[in-house]
Structure 1
Amino acid sequence: MKITKFGLSQIGNQTPLWAKWIFRIIFLLTTVTISWLAATNIVSDAQKYEITLFLKVVVDPIAYGLSKLFGIEETSLYNFQKGGK
Structure 2
Amino acid sequence: MTTPAWWPAVLAATARRRVAAREMLDHATPAVVDGTLRLTFANPAVAAAWEESGAQTALEAALAAGRWEMPVEAISNR
Q: TM-score scaled by structure 2?
A: 0.30
The structure in which a higher percent of residues are helix is: 1
Q: TM-score scaled by structure 1?
A: 0.28
The structure in which a higher percent of residues are strand is: 2
For CA contacts below 8 A with separation 6 or more, give which structure has more relative contact order. Answer: 1
